[in-house]
Amino acid sequence: MDVKVRGWHRDMGTHKIASHDLSDFRISDDAKKNIRWSAPGLFRQYGEVSVAWGQTLKFTGDYRMQIDFTQDDIFKLMKASYGRELDVDLLDKGFTVSEALKKKILSEIKLTDLTLGDLLGTASPQTAPQQQTGTVRPFRRRI
């Protein structure tokens, strides 16, 4: 992630004021977003992802601020925001599944391990009936 500034009124060129590799950051759930001056942090909290660091700035004037993210940075931010597991919620937010991914997922499913309820989407471990134990008595015979 690169943070660059460029002068607004009197353009003195572009200056890089910060450059951090997000892949080295540990994702933290710290609500206060505490950092040490020398150790930047990547924070996840309530649907928001923040990058924070300490730095002394000595610029005068008005500046246009810009943060550049690489694809690896965006991937790290996605993991910080949504976790490591892709879920149906992402599909509800507008993402789609590629044909190659569908084939990969379907190739890993063993149909012999699934029940009819699993295939229809109606059975779940919580709703499965529990077996009851009882006593077995022979039928009474009439004489």
Indicate the domain borders of the chain. Answer: 2-56+63-111
Model confidence pTM above 0.75: no
> Could you please report the per-residue DSSP string of 23-43?
GGPPEE--TT---BTTB-EEE
Token pair belonging to 61: 């004037």
Sign of CA dihedral 86, 87, 93, 98: positive
**132 Cα distance to chain centroid:** 42
pLDDT tens, the chain, 143 aa long = 888 888 777 777 888 888 888 888 888 988 888 888 878 888 888 777 888 888 887 777 766 666 767 888 888 888 888 888 888 888 888 888 899 988 998 888 877 777 777 777 765 555 555 566 777 777 777 76
